[in-house]
């Protein structure tokens, strides 16, 4: 029931398709129940009075039922695919959206390919399970009641003999419940990890080529495959034993029906037509029992997927308030402490005030916490820091930083991330209002002539931006920041990949625009120190706090 509750909001979004799916499934079901009954009666009437009209009537009925069945089966499959695909993708997107709003440190410990695989397969398993079963459970129960009733009416003795097979099914299910769940969970995890390893091979292709680590990476892949394969075999073994219990139940029932049914015909308690009805109905009954038996197995599969999705959706989101501001005049830090592991403070009791109109430099040796500091004031570590951070006297945790980062903060990262799209789309990424002519201008001011690219702004940047240089990549990211014209600009190592000429141009731009902005630059480059109004040396800050 909890699975159904969880999934219903996604499935019920497509009410009309769902309705069509239900109606036509019911039509197919009615035909499947009616057909053996009509056929059995036809056999008996042929045996009793050989009438030509009976043959014509029966043929027409069968033809009509066949046509209706073909049409409804098509509609059922078509509407099923529609609802299934759309609902699964909705669930998939919801999980991804939730993840994107979880604290950034959650991602640092996770492998994105693994996570994607996991969410995708779990969403599909769950939606398919509910869609294929929520009507089927009812229909099969109804089938059991109706066909049992008719069989009972036809031959009470034969029907009663078959009833004890039901508790047998229940016993089998309860025995296999736990092992199936456990091995199913294990297999899914291992599969996702294996696919993520495969993905890593292509993602790190440069690294592998440059270091010629083909053998090592193949070895890693094979090890990951072996663990996945072991889990697969274990799951198959348990599944097989479980399914063969199903076949055993089928064989037992057939033995019973042929033996006792034959006896009843000999004793003239059953006609041939009735016998065919009971055989068909009984195979339906067994189909239902086998369905419920397998439902136990697919329920355990779905439960695994449900638990794994819940695990993600129950993870705490990052703290993000609802207050919005339209400009940033000051950022004040009071006794701010931050640590990745609760023991060693990377930022320790830090006090500082940033004001509009200044360029600030953050310097310090590798690992002193420069990038950490930037993430902290951007609100990415809201769940973890101690002390107070204020934007214009409003506490950071109360601010809608999603809105503020989108509208009035521009960031250029140390290793800029670009999207697989054109240069133009990369420069304007995330910016709602801009002037198209300005794109070229901004790039030019950073010493990047767009005409050197064959298709200008429409030139595609391929995965991992391999068709442009590191410096050009950085300039695209800087251009994006300047085009946005934000209130606060943060540049993490903006000069690391720039030539001397380009650094001068960058310095020029920064001096020109600093009047109504807070600009913070993380740098190791001594040359750029000239344009800084204030310097925060994290080596000194940390050592002062340590001494205190």
Ligand X SMILES: Nc1ncnc2c1ncn2[C@@H]1O[C@H](COP(=O)(O)OP(=O)(O)OP(=O)(O)O)[C@@H](O)[C@H]1O
Which residues make up the interface to ligand X (CB under 6 A)? 105, 108, 340, 346, 364, 366-372
Q: Please tell me the distance from the alpha carbon of residue 138 to that of residue 67, in angstroms, as a whole number.
A: 25
Tokens 């991602």 belong to: 107
Least Å distance, CB 315 to ligand X, is: 16
Q: Please tell me the distance from the alpha carbon of residue 275 to that of residue 280, in angstroms, as a whole number.
A: 9
Cα 497 to chain centroid distance, Å, stands at 36
Least Å distance, CB 324 to ligand X, is: 28
| Radius of gyration of the chain from its Cα atoms, rounded to whole angstroms | 34
Least Å distance, CB 459 to ligand X, is: 30
Cβ closer to ligand X: 105 or 252?
Answer: 105
Least Å distance, CB 372 to ligand X, is: 3
Find out whether 492 and 524 touch, Cβ atoms under 8 Å: no
Cβ closer to ligand X: 77 or 539?
Answer: 539
Least Å distance, CB 540 to ligand X, is: 13
Tokens of 303: 């439960």
Cβ closer to ligand X: 288 or 478?
Answer: 478
Secondary structure (DSSP) of 70-113: HHHHHHHHHHHHHHHHHHHHHHHHHHHHHHHTS-HHHHHTS-HH
Find out whether 411 and 330 touch, Cβ atoms under 8 Å: no
Cβ closer to ligand X: 253 or 495?
Answer: 495
Least Å distance, CB 343 to ligand X, is: 11
Least Å distance, CB 365 to ligand X, is: 7
Find out whether 472 and 448 touch, Cβ atoms under 8 Å: yes
Least Å distance, CB 105 to ligand X, is: 6
Cβ closer to ligand X: 345 or 426?
Answer: 345
Secondary structure (DSSP) of 159-187: HHHHTTHHHHHHHHHHHHHHHHHHHHHHH
Tokens of 458: 């429409």
Name the pairing type of β-strands 386-391 and 330-339: antiparallel
Cβ closer to ligand X: 36 or 369?
Answer: 369
Cβ closer to ligand X: 66 or 367?
Answer: 367
Tokens of 333: 């830090």
Find out whether 503 and 531 touch, Cβ atoms under 8 Å: no
- Containing 210, the helix (H) or strand (E) segment is helix 205-211
Cβ closer to ligand X: 346 or 418?
Answer: 346
Least Å distance, CB 543 to ligand X, is: 14
Least Å distance, CB 527 to ligand X, is: 17
Cα torsion 23, 26, 28, 31: sign: negative
Tokens of 7: 């999934």
Calculate the alpha carbon distances from 265 to 329, 362, 524 in Å: 96, 96, 96
Name the pairing type of β-strands 345-355 and 518-522: unpaired
Calculate the alpha carbon distances from 342 to 243, 253, 339, 346, 385 in Å: 50, 64, 5, 10, 10
CA dihedral 229, 230, 231, 233 (to 10 degrees): 90
Cβ closer to ligand X: 366 or 393?
Answer: 366
Least Å distance, CB 380 to ligand X, is: 11
Least Å distance, CB 368 to ligand X, is: 4
Tokens of 468: 């442009």
Cβ closer to ligand X: 212 or 366?
Answer: 366
Cβ closer to ligand X: 257 or 362?
Answer: 362
Cβ closer to ligand X: 58 or 340?
Answer: 340
Calculate the alpha carbon distances from 290 to 141, 250, 254, 294 in Å: 12, 8, 13, 6
């Amino acid at each position: 029931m909890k699975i159904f509750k969880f999934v219903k909001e996604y499935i019920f979004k497509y009410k009309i398709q769902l309705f069509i799916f239900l109606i036509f499934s019911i039509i197919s079901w009615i035909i499947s129940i009616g057909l053996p009954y009509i056929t059995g009666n036809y056999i008996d009437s042929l045996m009793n009075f050989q009438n030509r009209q009976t043959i014509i009537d029966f043929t027409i009925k069968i033809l009509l039922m066949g046509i209706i069945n073909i049409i409804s089966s098509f509609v059922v499959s078509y509407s099923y695919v529609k609802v299934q695909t759309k609902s699964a993708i909705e669930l998939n997107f919801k999980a991804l959206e939730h993840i994107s709003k979880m604290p950034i440190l959650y991602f640092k410990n996770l492998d994105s390919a693994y996570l994607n695989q996991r969410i995708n397969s779990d969403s599909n398993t769950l939606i398919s399970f509910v869609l294929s079963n929520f009507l089927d459970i009812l229909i099969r129960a109804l089938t059991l009641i109706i066909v049992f009733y008719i069989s009972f009416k036809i031959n009470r003795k034969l029907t009663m003999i078959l009833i004890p097979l039901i508790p047998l099914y229940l016993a089998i299910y309860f025995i296999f419940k736990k092992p199936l769940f456990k091995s199913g969970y294990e297999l899914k995890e291992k599969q996702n990890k294996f696919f993520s390893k495969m993905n890593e091979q292509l993602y790190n292709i440069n690294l592998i080529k440059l270091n010629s680590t083909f053998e090592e990476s193949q070895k890693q892949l094979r090890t990951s495959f072996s663990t996945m394969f072991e889990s697969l075999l274990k799951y198959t073994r348990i599944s097989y034993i479980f399914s063969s219990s199903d076949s055993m139940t089928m064989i037992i029932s057939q033995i019973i029906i042929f033996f006792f049914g034959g006896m009843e015909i000999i004793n003239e308690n059953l006609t041939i037509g009735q016998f065919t009805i009971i055989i068909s109905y009984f195979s339906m009954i067994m189909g239902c029992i086998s369905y419920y038996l397998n439902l136990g197995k697919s329920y355990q599969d779905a439960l695994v997927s449900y638990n794994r999705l819940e695990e993600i959706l129950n993870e705490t989101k990052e703290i993000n308030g609802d207050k919005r501001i339209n400009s940033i005049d000051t950022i004040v830090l009071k006794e701010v402490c931050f640590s990745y592991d609760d023991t060693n403070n990377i930022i320790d009791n830090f006090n500082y005030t940033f004001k509009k109109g200044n360029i600030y430099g953050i310097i310090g040796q590798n690992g002193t916490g420069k990038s950490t500091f930037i993430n902290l004031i951007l609100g990415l570590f809201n769940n973890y820091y101690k002390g107070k951070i204020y934007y214009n006297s409003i506490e950071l945790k109360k601010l809608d930083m999603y809105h503020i980062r989108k509208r009035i903060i521009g960031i250029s990262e140390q290793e800029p991330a670009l999207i697989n799209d054109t240069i133009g789309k990369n420069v304007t990424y995330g910016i709602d209002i801009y002037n198209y002519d300005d794109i070229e201008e901004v790039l030019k001011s950073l010493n990047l002539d767009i005409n050197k690219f064959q298709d200008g702004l429409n030139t595609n940047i391929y995965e991992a931006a391999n068709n442009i240089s590191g410096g050009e990549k950085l300039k695209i990211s800087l251009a994006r920041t300047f085009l946005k014209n934000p209130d606060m600009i943060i540049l993490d190592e903006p000069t690391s990949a720039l030539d001397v000429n380009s650094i001068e141009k960058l310095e020029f731009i920064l001096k020109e625009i600093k009047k109504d902005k807070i600009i913070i630059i993380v740098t190791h480059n001594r040359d750029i120190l000239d344009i800084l109004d204030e310097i925060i040396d994290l080596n000194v800050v940390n050592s002062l706090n340590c001494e205190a």
